[in-house]
């Protein structure tokens, strides 16, 4: 495919560009650039149609590349290694003979080998037997490589060394998992539980797919989440990378179990009504040569840019060459492999900011000037790849959801491709957790700025959906602190028992933990995300086994026992999280229009906003309670308490009488046509719902 095809923007027609420009008038100054980008996308799509028989066929690379068993039980293996001088297949099947099974060189840097069936008609390479590719490099050196398309890669026993082994996955039909349940419909209000299979066990070891299926999925459903986002599935040799240094893209990590057990996990989640998303890393890859795809053909390029452009200076990893047809085939096929082979319903794309800009966002302020998003710093090749990926996924599976991890706020990133956007459904509201941690770390309660808090929560692009979150896995990692830790770490190990005496630290921490989550949930976006364990204020941080902690698993686990223990207060936070999601399910505020904020009173420390026929009232004042506090509302009528953070069920004091009915008066207040009076205690939030 080479470098991006030159495009004349004046000849490009973007089908629904008018919708985009009408929605955001500031984009009119950049209409030609939007057309140019869409033209580049069209040009690549046309090339794929002409040369590859269309995107549908092109994205099935996994059906031809790598090792495959033919109907007659012979084996075919196709690889792309443009600068290799020779490829050889070796393994248990040929007693690791380095030269007995050479590949034949084809056009366009491809290599192929065909191995006939065994004399008895069986497959010559047995299920779970080890295979590797011998590479004769451009420097005439023989080296070993793992197949980039390998579907099962295993860490060897210690006595066999450290190099990962490709175990050919070809189980008999009776051992293959058969999907039994249909995919759930796309959630109207997306509530995401971000999770990691390996740390989901309480025991100090790596958890398994089967344990997660049995033990954790029911917890997620009980909490009221309707989607899971699974991290660290694509195989990564370094466990402590949290799955962000991928070595084998098509291999579901074997440290948790087998491919069939992952399929069972996904299918079981579907049976429980859970939408299942994969955390996908197409922004970079591990530099690991022995276990990964780096230097697969013996050069510093192949799947990546050569030279300095091919290395991320902060992540110390390799950067894909998105202009290469074979790289596009590899990555698009990778998405399709998980969409169809494992029945994932969507993807959260990691590191999108790094992909979008030649600077990878390093040192960029992203002040909000549109020049930041339409200048020469934007990597058109990477942007076109993302457009192709979203276009393909939504064509193949219209209910698929894609989420962009982008901190830059690029306009139209979450608009349809036919409007000139990148095609994502949601972006992560990454400024929100940063705000909460900064407040807890640097400001006293008296100094919290109500107006600024609401501005950060509401500051998102019009009609581009955002997933809000108070904290994710990033804040749980060692070196940082979760919100619960920032609030209560001084007494979490001594005063979280119901039998403990009164504690101002714990009372404040419990109250603010609930209020922060509710405010983020209600005002911050069109979806909500929580990381596994944070909902109940997990008492310790997350740290993977590594040399620095003597390979300990003590912090690489989730302590479910503390939330299950009826004598501890963690259960209160857990119950509130479930009630918050249940209340949203009743009123659908996430799928409603953005909230209207009528009050941000700095002196009173009061925030009031309306969304989906609900009125949210927050009193962040550390000591003042207010009786008969006047609140402006848009709709007249009768209101009732739908959620109270101070409920006894959530560890509160139930200072507000839940039998109270609130009636509006026709007296306007704070630019709202009606008003009502409420009692709002210190560090309490209420959700009032309009009665039918």
Q: Cα angle vertex 326, ends 321, 332, to 5°? A: 90
Residue keyed to tokens 């560090």: 683
User: What backbone torsions phi and psi does residue 633 show, to the nearest 5 degrees?
Assistant: -140, 155
Number of helical H runs and strand E runs in the chain:
16, 29
d(C-alpha 221, C-alpha 64), whole Å:
38
User: Can you give the pLDDT at residue 188?
Assistant: 95
d(C-alpha 85, C-alpha 137), whole Å:
6
Active site residue 566: no
DSSP at 505: H
d(C-alpha 375, C-alpha 517), whole Å:
37
Catalytic residue among 235, 279, 372, 405: 405
User: Can you give the pLDDT at residue 3?
Assistant: 59
Sheet holding 110-115, edge to edge: 66-69, 75-80, 110-115, 104-105
Return the structure tokens found at 411.
């306009």
d(C-alpha 19, C-alpha 103), whole Å:
52
591-641 per-position pLDDT tens digit: 999 999 999 999 999 999 999 999 999 999 999 999 999 999 999 999 999
Return the structure tokens found at 593.
């229009």
Q: Which residues contact 602 (CB under 8 A, 6 or more apart)?
A: 449, 450, 451
Q: Do domains 61-175 and 596-690 have the same CATH topology?
A: yes
Residues 201 and 560 sit within 8 Å (Cβ to Cβ)? no
Q: Strands 346-349 and 401-404: what pairing?
A: parallel
| Cα–Cα nearest to 598, from 589, 606, 612, 609 | 609
Q: Which residues pair with 320 in a beta bridge?
A: 304
- Scanning 16-139, the segments in alpha helix (DSSP H) are 17-23, 31-52, 55-58
Dihedral Cα 588, 593, 598, 599, nearest 10 deg: 60
| Cα–Cα nearest to 217, from 197, 198, 199, 243 | 197
Query: Which overall architecture, per CATH, does domain 61-175 show?
Result: Sandwich (2.60)
| Cα–Cα nearest to 202, from 468, 538, 685 | 538
Is pTM beyond 0.85? Reply is yes
Q: CB neighbours (10 Å) of residue 193?
A: 25
d(C-alpha 7, C-alpha 29), whole Å:
18
Q: Which residues contact 476 (CB under 8 A, 6 or more apart)?
A: 482, 531, 533, 534, 538, 541, 542
470-494 per-position pLDDT tens digit: 999 999 888 889 999 999 998 999 9
Residue keyed to tokens 């944070």: 534
User: Can you give the pLDDT at residue 1?
Assistant: 47
d(C-alpha 532, C-alpha 472), whole Å:
8
Q: Which residues contact 235 (CB under 8 A, 6 or more apart)?
A: 153, 164, 246, 247, 248, 249, 251, 252, 253, 254
User: Can you give the pLDDT at residue 516?
Assistant: 98
Return the structure tokens found at 124.
């010559």
Residues of the chain under the 70 pLDDT cut: 1-4
Return the structure tokens found at 642.
């739908």
> Measured between alpha carbons, how far is residue 359 from residues 310, 311, 372, 378, 634 in Å?
12, 12, 11, 8, 46
Written out in words, the top-level CATH class of the domain with range 596-690 is mainly beta
HSE of 439, CA atoms in CB hemisphere, 13 A:
22
SS (H, E, C) 394-422: HHHCCCCEEEECCCCCCCCCCCCHHHCCC
Domain ranges of the chain: 1-50+320-344+351-424, 61-175, 596-690
Active site residue 112: no
| Cα–Cα nearest to 113, from 126, 100, 127, 103 | 103
DSSP at 337: I
The SS3 of residue 102 is strand
Instruction: Report the interhelical angle of 450-458 vs 431-442 (nearest 10°).
Output: 160
Q: Strands 346-349 and 275-280: what pairing?
A: parallel
d(C-alpha 684, C-alpha 670), whole Å:
21
Q: Which residues pair with 65 in a beta bridge?
A: none
d(C-alpha 78, C-alpha 227), whole Å:
36
d(C-alpha 94, C-alpha 96), whole Å:
5
Return the structure tokens found at 266.
């996904």
Chain centroid, CA 627 distance in Å: 43
> Measured between alpha carbons, how far is residue 632 from residues 51, 538, 607 in Å?
62, 37, 11
Q: Strands 142-145 and 401-404: what pairing?
A: unpaired
> Measured between alpha carbons, how far is residue 400 from residues 29, 275, 390, 426, 464 in Å?
32, 9, 9, 12, 16
d(C-alpha 332, C-alpha 384), whole Å:
12
Q: Strands 674-680 and 626-633: what pairing?
A: antiparallel
Q: Which residues contact 176 (CB under 8 A, 6 or more apart)?
A: 260
Catalytic residue among 79, 295, 345, 350: 350
User: Can you give the pLDDT at residue 4?
Assistant: 66
Residue keyed to tokens 């057309």: 35
């Amino acid at each position: 495919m080479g470098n991006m095809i030159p495009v004349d923007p004046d000849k490009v027609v973007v089908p629904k560009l008018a919708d985009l420009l009408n929605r955001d008038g500031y984009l009119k100054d950049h209409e030609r650039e939007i057309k140019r980008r869409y033209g580049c996308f069209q040009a690549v799509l046309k090339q794929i149609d002409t040369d590859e028989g269309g995107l549908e066929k092109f994205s099935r690379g996994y059906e031809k590349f790598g090792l495959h068993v033919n109907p007659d039980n012979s084996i075919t293996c196709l690889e792309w290694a443009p600068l290799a001088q020779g490829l050889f297949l070796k393994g248990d099947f040929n007693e690791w003979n380095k030269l007995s099974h050479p590949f034949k060189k084809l056009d366009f840097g491809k290599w192929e080998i065909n191995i006939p069936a065994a004399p008895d008609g069986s497959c010559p390479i047995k299920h779970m037997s080890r295979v590797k590719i011998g590479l004769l490099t451009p420097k005439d050196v023989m080296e070993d490589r793992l197949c980039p398309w390998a579907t099962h890669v295993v860490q060897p026993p210690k006595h066999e060394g450290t190099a990962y082994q490709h175990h050919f996955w070809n189980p008999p039909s009776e051992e293959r998992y058969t999907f039994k349940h249909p995919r759930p419909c796309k959630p109207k209000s997306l509530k995401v539980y971000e999770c990691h299979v390996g740390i989901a066990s309480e025991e100090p070891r790596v958890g398994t797919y089967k344990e997660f299926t049995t033990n954790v999925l029911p917890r997620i459903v009980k909490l009221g989440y309707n989607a899971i986002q699974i991290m660290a599935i694509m195989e990564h040799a370094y466990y402590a990378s949290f799955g962000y240094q991928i070595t084998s893209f098509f291999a579901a990590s074997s440290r948790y179990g087998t491919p069939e057990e992952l399929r069972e996990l996904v299918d079981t989640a579907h049976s429980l009504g859970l939408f299942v998303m994969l955390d996908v890393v197409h922004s970079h890859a591990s530099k690991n040569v022995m276990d990964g795809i780096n230097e697969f053909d013996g050069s510093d390029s192949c799947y990546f840019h050569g030279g300095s452009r091919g290395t991320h200076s902060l992540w110390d990893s390799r950067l894909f060459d998105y202009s290469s047809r074979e790289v596009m085939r590899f990555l698009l096929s990778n998405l399709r492999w998980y969409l169809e082979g494992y029945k994932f319903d969507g993807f959260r794309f990691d590191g999108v900011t790094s992909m979008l800009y030649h600077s990878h966002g390093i040192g960029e302020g992203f002040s909000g000037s549109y020049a930041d998003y339409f200048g020469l710093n934007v990597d058109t090749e990477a942007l076109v790849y993302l457009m192709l990926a979203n276009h393909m996924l939504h064509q193949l599976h219209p209910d698929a959801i894609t989420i962009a991890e982008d901190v830059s706020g690029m306009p139209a990133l979450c608009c349809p491709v036919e409007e000139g956007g990148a095609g994502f459904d949601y972006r992560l509201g990454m400024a929100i957790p940063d705000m909460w941690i900064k407040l807890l770390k640097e400001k006293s309660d008296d100094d919290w700025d109500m107006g600024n808090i609401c501005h950060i929560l509401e500051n998102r692009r019009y009609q581009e959906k955002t997933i809000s979150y108070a904290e994710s896995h990033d804040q749980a990692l060692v070196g940082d602190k979760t919100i619960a830790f920032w609030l209560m770490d001084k007494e979490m190990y001594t005063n979280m028992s119901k039998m403990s005496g009164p504690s101002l630290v714990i009372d404040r921490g419990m109250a603010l933990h609930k209020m922060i989550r509710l405010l983020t949930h209600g005002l911050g976006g069109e979806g909500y995300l929580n990381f596994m364990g944070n909902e109940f204020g997990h008492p310790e941080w997350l740290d993977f086994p590594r040399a620095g902690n003597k390979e300990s698993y003590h912090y690489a686990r989730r302590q479910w026992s503390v939330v299950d223990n009826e004598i501890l207060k963690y259960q209160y936070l857990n119950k509130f999280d479930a009630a918050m999601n249940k209340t949203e399910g009743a009123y659908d505020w996430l799928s409603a229009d953005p909230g209207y904020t009528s009050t941000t009173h700095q002196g009173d420390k009061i925030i009031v906003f309306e969304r989906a026929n609900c009125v949210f009232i927050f009193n962040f004042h550390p000591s003042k309670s207010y009786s008969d506090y006047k609140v402006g509302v848009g709709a007249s009528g009768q209101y009732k308490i739908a959620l109270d953070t101070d409920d006894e069920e959530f560890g509160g004091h139930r200072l507000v009488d839940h039998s109270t009915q609130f009636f509006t008066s026709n007296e306007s207040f704070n630019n709202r046509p009606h008003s009502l009076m409420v009692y709002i205690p210190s560090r309490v939030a209420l959700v009032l719902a309009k009665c039918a």
